Amino acid sequence: GLKEGRVKAAEFGQGVDKSMKEALEGTKISADQLEKWGQSVAKGGKEGSAAMTEIAKALASIEDETKRNEIGVKLFGR
């Protein structure tokens, strides 16, 4: 659920692995931005909530459905 998604997203605050960097290629999402969002999510509160919203908007902006699904699973789990 949402809690699992927050935990998963917060993990990216510690760095973005190679497979996620490869998945992000061709999108408007940078590994640095994802790491910043992850740090905000880990902090929680309004900042974390805002970061989750930004992540969702960025994910929705990915036109390639397969890539969007792949990144969504990596971000939020199954």
The span from the CA of 54 to the CA of 71, in Å, is 14
* Count of domains for the chain: 1
Task: Tokens for 68, please give them.
Answer: 């969007």
Closest CA to 37 of 70, 69, 13: 13
Summarised one tens digit per residue, pLDDT across range 38-76 is 999 999 999 999 999 999 999 999 999 999 999 999 888
Domain that holds residue 18: 2-76
Query: What pLDDT, on the 0 to 100 scale, is given for residue 1?
Result: 53
pLDDT tens-digit series, residues 4-15: 556 667 777 788
Per-residue confidence (pLDDT) for residue 77, from 0 to 100: 80
pLDDT at 29 over 70: yes
